[in-house]
Structure 1
Amino acid sequence: MSELDWSTTQGLAAIKEHLAGEIDGWREPVTFAVALSPATSDPEWEIGHLNPVGGRHGLAAVVLATVIGHDGSTATVPLTTAHLDAAITSLEPAQACTEVEHPNLADWRRVRAELEGNPGREVVAVFVADLADPVTSEADGEMRAALERD
């Protein structure tokens, strides 16, 4: 790509397509989220921004998948603070587009700050390519249950 235009929705869509084309076997998930392990004795994973099924943009999913080397298939993938830092840095230029909100970026920053204060928590990325696929983890199950409630 000769010139990346982060300032328009059309530019973001072109960037998404470019990045997706760089991932071998990329399959756009129907939904995805970043989840934090419980902070207390509460057994539930904390699902941050829940990307609705068939969300309209998808750039954040491709950015996260690029950082962790994932193809978008249904999976729960452990994240490190380095992964989060790279994903945040990679998605930050999208803020130049003021036509849309950037809830994934805000959520990833929140999760990163939470890890600073509580490094014992685990973080995972949950991708669901097809809602009929088997659940891959507790975090995946909780994310799908949240989708049904919304």
Structure 2
Amino acid sequence: MSDLDWSTPEGLAAIRTHLAAQIDGWQAPEAYAVALSPASSSPEWVLPHVNAPGGRHQLPAVVLATILGHDGSTASLPLSRTDLEAAVASLEPAEACTAMGHPNLAAWRAVLHELDGNPAREAVAVFVADLGDPVTSEADASLRVAVQGVTPEV
């Protein structure tokens, strides 16, 4: 992928398309996030950045799916520190594109920092292919509350 252009929005879109073509059955999720388990007795998972429906940048979703061997379907997948580090390293070249922000990278780095500070916490990658799909976990429910503003049944 070294011949692909990481410095422009068009280049990032081409990289996304290239990576997505490598995933059997890939479907871009309607919403996705990396969630962090609660640090207190609160049941809500922490979502440092939510990729809501209508988002135009799906490269972070494709990067996560590539690392986790996932097709983008609705699921909550355990995300090890090693997997998250790999996702950050894979997405970091996108920072060469200064025409847009990179909130997923910032969020993923914040999650890594939290995992370092409290090893009891867990990270989960949440993909929601369709908001009408059944909720897969408490982290998924937290994502849907953030996206829809209503509490789904778990």
TM range (shorter): over 0.9
Partners in 2 of 1:2 and 1:139 — Cα distance?
A: 35
Aligned residue identity for 1:76:
S
Aligned to 1:114: 114
In 1, Cα distance between equivalents of 2:105 and 2:5: 18
**TM score, norm. by length of structure 1:** 0.97
Q: Could you say which residue in structure 1 is the equivalent of 2:32? A: 32
**Separation in 1 of the partners of 2:53 and 2:43?**
25
Q: After TM superposition, which residue ranges in structure 1, 4 or more long, deviate above 4 angstroms? A: none
CA distance in 2, matches of 1:130, 1:41: 29
The residue matched to 2:110 in structure 1 has which SS?
helix
Can you give the 5+ residue segments of structure 1 that lack an aligned partner in the other structure? none
Give, in whole Å, the separation in 2 of the partners of 1:109 and 1:2: 24
Distance in 1 of aligned mates of 2:2 and 2:79: 31
Offset of residue 2 of structure 1 = 6.8
Gaps of 5+ in 2: none
Instruction: Give the 3-state SS of the residue equivalent to 1:115 in structure 2.
Output: helix
**Aligned partner of 2:24: which letter?**
D
Q: TM-score, normalised by structure 2?
A: 0.94
Shift of residue 146, structure 1, vs aligned partner? 1.0
3-state DSSP class of the match of 1:88?
Answer: helix
Aligned residue pair count:
150
What is the percentage of aligned positions where both structures have the same residue?
Answer: 65
1:65-104 aligned at under 5 Å gives the runs 65-104=65-104
